[in-house]
Amino acid sequence: MARGGGSGFGLQDLSRIARGQGSYLYDESGRAYLDGSGGPAVFCIGHANAEVNAAIARQLDSIAYAYRYLFTSSALESLTEIVHRVSGRCFKDILYSADGSEAVESALKVALQHYAARGLMKKRRFIARRRSWHGNTLGALSVSGFEARRRAFEGSLLDVSFVSPANSYRMPQGCTEESLVSHLARELEETIERVGPDRIAAFIFEPIVGAAGGVVPAPPGYAAAIQAVCARHDVLVIADEVMCGAGRSGTWRALEHEGVVPDIMSVAKGLAGGYIPLGATLVSASVAEPIMSEHGAYMTGHTFSGHTAACAAGFAVQTIIERERLVERVRTTGASFQQALRESLSTFDEVGDVRGRGFFIGVELVKDRKTREPFAPERALSFDIGQRAFADGLICYPCSGNVDGRSGDTVILAPPYNASEAELEQICIKLTRAIGAALAVK
């Protein structure tokens, strides 16, 4: 398992997959792997679900895909209705794409088109946060604060302003937990005023930062505070829920927990659960109305936008999640799962923080728990842990650089929403064993 900027997997010396079933994957040698991270937080109802596979097969038997700009379909319309319902009917339009990067790209384009429709062509700039991740297209990468992933493309990225992460475990100097939200809101407002409110189109953030931070929920009150700042300056709020949304954090919209509705939202991974690639950009009525009035249509889309079989997969996945009340299970079971992890890992002084919400949990490793000093990046501790876990039959998601772009080791767990209690217990046992083995190496 090679080291890298994301899950830690390279493209060489990989096991060859044979099949999946439920929370497990099996390679060609018959070795079983408990999928403790849902791959990269994708596989929300596990693998080889017969109901989802049957829905896809039925769609393929009729038509695999009809070009979205010529036809609608019952699969697309059914998915749209269920997404509107589970997201609280907070949005007017849903624009489909193939993955999270495309969903974010569309969110950025919709924000720009909104101001173009209003004749405000100077509003072209974005603000994002350091230690964030928003995708692999050049636009989405431009608003990313994941230094290792954007370094090779510097010089061809959009000019974006960055503000501090919203991380209560690693706060800006001089901040306390009580002052953190006001500090971050003030920093955002000062950045808008410095660049010029007439130039800023949108602020984009992950309500719970995934790979770039190792599952970092924003502190309570943060989302409302930044929304108020943006509203004062006619700046749109884009919530990137590609990783933390679609039920992963115990509410279908991660920001539902905060009582906040963004202007634009991206969602992907858990939308179709990995069965067929699918993403979506949800647009509020206030953003949509000038666009429809002036242009009559959104100027974003791709050949496979609204892919018929992908929509059928998404509808089947969301139907199962709704019918089996899996988001509620994630919310209730997630708290006990996180507590079990804390107890299991409490013997290690090097475990500095166990955090998250629902079935989206991050473990941060530190050299010194009191000072929160990270391990040297050359140690590659998180990837060592990931390798040992994988060898023991557990898939987790090791990440690096969460402190300063180079230092910092975290491991993400994001099991399927329907993982059994016994499987959750095995995740705790195997991760504890992997961390213990890695820390034993001096």
Tokens 């019918």 belong to 323
In a structure prediction context, what are the per-residue pLDDT tens digits for the chain, which is 442 residues long?
333 344 444 566 899 999 999 999 999 999 999 999 999 999 999 999 999 999 999 999 999 999 999 999 999 999 999 999 999 999 999 999 999 999 999 999 999 999 999 999 999 999 999 999 999 999 999 999 998 899 999 999 999 999 999 999 999 988 999 999 999 999 999 999 999 999 999 999 999 999 999 999 999 999 999 999 999 999 999 999 999 999 999 999 999 999 999 999 999 999 999 999 999 999 999 999 999 999 999 999 999 999 999 999 999 999 999 999 999 999 999 999 999 999 999 999 999 999 999 999 999 999 999 999 999 999 999 999 999 999 999 999 999 999 999 999 999 999 999 999 999 999 999 999 999 999 999 7
**What interhelical angle do 308-323 and 74-86 show, nearest 10?**
40
For position 13, what pLDDT does the model report?
81
Residues in the chain: 442
Helix (H, G, I), strand (E, B) or coil at 243: coil
Task: Pick the closest to residue 1 from 17, 20, 14, 16 (CA basis).
Answer: 14
CATH of 63-323 given 3.40.640.10, 3.40.50.300, 3.30.70.870, 3.30.70.260: 3.40.640.10
Contact predicate 291/83, CB 8 Å: no
Distance CA 310, CA 317 (A): 11
Please tell me the predicted confidence (pLDDT) of residue 9. Answer: 44
**Residue appearing with tokens 């993955």:** 99
296: DSSP letter = S
Q: Which residues touch 265 (CB under 8 Å, ≥6 apart)?
A: 87, 91, 107, 238, 239, 240, 241, 245, 253, 255, 281, 282
Q: Which CATH number fits domain 17-48+325-439: 3.30.1380.10, 3.40.50.720, 3.20.20.80, 3.90.1150.10?
A: 3.90.1150.10
The strand pair at 24-27 and 32-35 is best described as antiparallel
DSSP-assigned letter for residue 47: B
* Token output for 25: 């994957």
| CA pair distance 138, 147, nearest whole angstrom | 14
Q: Return the domain boundaries, the chain.
A: 17-48+325-439, 63-323
Q: Which two tokens stand for residue 397?
A: 């998601």
Between β-strands 125-129 and 160-163, what pairing exists: parallel, antiparallel or unpaired?
A: parallel
Would you say the CATH fold of 63-323 matches that of 17-48+325-439?
Answer: no
**Exposed e or buried b per residue across 84-104, where buried means at least 16 C-beta atoms within 10 angstroms of its C-beta:** bebbeebbebbbbbbbbbbbb
**Within 13 A of 139's CA, how many CA atoms are on the CB side?**
18
**What is the residue whose two structure tokens read 């439920």?**
22
